[in-house]
Structure 1
Amino acid sequence: MSDHVFFAKDLEGVATYWSIKRRDGVCLGFTSHNRDLVIDSVRYRSAPGMIPSAIRRTAQLERDSVEVEGVLAHDSISAEDMEQGRYDNARISIGLVDWETLEHTSLFHGELGAISQRDGTFEAELRSAKARLEVDVVARTSPTCRAEFCDAACQLNAARFTHLLKVSSIDIENNSVSFGGAVSPVHLLHGNVKWVDGPHAGMVMQVIDADANGIVLDRPISSDVTPGTRAFLREGCDHTLATCNSRFGNAANFRGEPHLPGNDLLASYPTSSS
């Protein structure tokens, strides 16, 4: 980062650069220059097909406008990784670099949002830091708990419900996997699996179904996953008062209104048979 003023001269060696930092720790860099550049110990691969961004920054509270094309088509980004969610909520940085002096400045910081595929290419929504201002912080009444399991509002210790286990068997056809250990699969429903090694290392998958035979995940399991592959399994919660009280003994921290009358009661009226 520097105080360099770009485009101050008629002729200047300026290129656009991209930095993508995934949640599993992988960092990728790309530049519109015709050769690779090393900036702050990160190699930015040449991606001439990357169209320079149109970035509009304002002092208003609305999110900044960013238009980009081309970077998701680079050979370093595989369709399989995109489909498996490795780029979900990845951190993005876009800026300008003087390819002669490597002086650079960042123009945009944000996250990758929804990723869609069209005509064989991927398109992604970019969310700037201002997107956090759009979050509704006012609590809404609900019959189920609004807290995330083991967050500050829930107050349960996540370490108590996180287990490092090894795969014992896999059912690719049903996208189901079993782990050796004393944890009941039923307790893992609504939880998640964070893979430690194997083809999905670093990825987090949600548990959408569970029974005595194993757990079903929300993303396809690679056929390369073998018995012995390790993962952190976080137990889940269905956010009902009954579960909070009977299973966790945590009803005092329940963040919901299970006994509040709903809209049906408010809209009801007496009839002759009442």
Structure 2
Amino acid sequence: MKTLSPEFTAHLKTGATTLCWCWRIERRDGTVLGFTDHDNPVAFDGTTYEAAAGFTASDITDGLGLSVDNLEVTGALSSTTLTDDDLAAGRYDDARVAIYRVNWSDPSQRVLMRSGSIGEVRRTGANFAAELRGLAHYLQQPKGRLLQRTCDADLGDARCGVDLMSSAFQGTGTILAANSARRFKVDGIDSFETRFFSRGLFAFTSGASAGLKIEVKSHTKFATSVEIELWTDAEAPPAIGDAFIVTAGCDKRLETCKARFNNTINFRGFPSIPGNQFLTQIGRAS
């Protein structure tokens, strides 16, 4: 149930309203952005909502019980603060969203209609579509221990205990040649075996993408070169000489935990757990 101020209620009863939608987006890095479908900027609570940003919202879908409410926002990348590079880099993944119905002639008259987070983002050329998920979405996420063969800890967290700042698990170097915005040859990590940094974290420390961190898809060591491929494109094509720091990756297997990290005491998987074939076996007369 929504509670409206007496002034807002009186405005709605006039029959000649001046209403607009406002979207407030707060990214995980703390950046706050505001957008509105009104033709002039609207400001309240310290946030200015940018006008004519190319946003169009679908109907909001409500569900009973714990089903997830959702809607979809579509738009064009016309805003100077909403860039294709930021979307591609995942800066809006799981960003918190608040949707307001506002009287643009007096923004103090408003009501919070929905709050949630950004889910799937799809892009086609200069257009994008972002799924907004209700707060019930978080109730559907797995919680607690997972009974599985592989480890359910994150490499380097408190449960894992591996010190990723150690020189044994961290390498530094520079870009030698870039085949694309996500695949390039590097120098400085020749002493590490192939796949050592696969599933690790690659951080640019200089160049146009300085500060950006992307997960490593593959790390391959050839006879005369070392190649790194990332899961997503960098914000800008890497240039020769750009510096980076890359940390080790883990495939969550007990064998890797023992051989690479000597950390089996903290392994959080169940490597001896019976599989489905064992559980579905039936007795047969001999």
For the aligned pair, the TM-score class normalised by the smaller chain equals 0.7 to 0.9
Instruction: Describe the shift of the 1:202–1:111 C-alpha distance in structure 2 as closer, same or farther (beyond 3 A).
Output: farther
TM-score between both structures, scaled by the size of structure 2: 0.76
Give distance in 2, aligned partners of 1:119 and 1:200.
22
> Would the alpha carbon gap of residues 146 and 224 (structure 1) be closer, same or farther in structure 2, given more than 3 Å must change?
closer
* CA separation of 1:128 and 1:15: change in aligned 2, threshold 3 A: same
Equivalent residues in 2 for 1:152-163 (5 A)?
152-160=158-166, 163=170
Deviation string, structure 1 residues 167-219 (Cα, Å, up to 9, x no partner): 23233258124253687364311112233453334543211111231321112
Structure 1 residue 236 displacement after superposition: 1.0
Rate the CA distance shift 1:59–1:202 in 2: closer, same or farther, 3 A. Answer: farther
1:221 CA displacement: 4.3
Give the deviation of 1:137 after TM superposition.
2.4
Where does residue 92 of structure 1 map in the other structure? 97
Secondary structure, counterpart of 1:215 in structure 2 = strand
The answer as to 2:174 corresponding to 1:172 is: no
Distance 1:130 1:122 in 2: 24
> Any conservation in 2 of the 1:167–1:226 contact (CA below 8 Å)?
no
Please report how far the alpha carbon of residue 47 of structure 1 lies from its aligned counterpart in structure 2 after TM superposition. Answer: 2.0
Q: Secondary structure at the match of 1:236?
A: coil
Pair 1:243 & 2:251 matched: no
The 5-angstrom pairing of residues 20-169 of structure 1 reads 20-47=25-52, 49-51=54-56, 54-55=59-60, 60-70=65-75, 72-76=76-80, 77-103=82-108, 104-117=110-123, 121-137=127-143, 139-160=145-166, 163=170, 165-169=172-176
- How many residues in Structure 1 have an aligned counterpart in Structure 2? 271
Q: Distance in 2 between matches of 1:166 and 1:175?
A: 15
Equivalence for 1:15: 20
Q: Deviations over 1:128-176 (max 9, x none)?
A: 2221101232544322112221223323344447758452323325812
Aligned pair in 2 of structure 1 residues 124, 228: CA closer, same or farther (>3 Å)?
same
| 8 A contact 1:32–1:52 mirrored in 2 | no
Cα displacement (A) at 1:89: 2.6
Aligned alpha-carbon RMSD (Å): 3.6
Please, which moves more after superposition, 173-182 or 204-213?
173-182
Find the counterpart in structure 2 of residue 193 from structure 1.
202
1:67-123 residue CA offsets vs partner (Å, 9 max, x unmatched):
4344x5544334454344343333322213332333244333322111224696322
Residues 86 and 203 of structure 1 are in contact (CA less than 8 Å); yes or no, is this contact kept in structure 2? no
The 2-side partners of 1:178 and 1:258 are apart by 35
**1:247 Cα deviation (Å)?**
2.5
**Larger CA deviation: 122-131 vs 136-145:** 136-145
CA distance, structure 1, for counterparts of residue 170 and residue 96 of structure 2: 28
TM-score (norm 1): 0.78
Structure 1 residue 270: Cα displacement: 8.5
What does residue 228 of structure 2 align with? 215
**8 Å CA contact retained: 2:88, 2:233:** no
Q: Tell me: CA distance 1:86–1:150, structure 2 relative to 1, closer, same or farther (3 Å).
A: same
List per-residue Cα deviations over 1:207-250 (Å, max 9, x = no partner): 11112313211123466422443444232111111221232222
Counting aligned pairs with the same residue, the percent is: 28
d(CA) in 2 for partners of 1:127, 1:158: 34
Q: Which moved more, 1:87-96 or 1:21-30?
A: 21-30
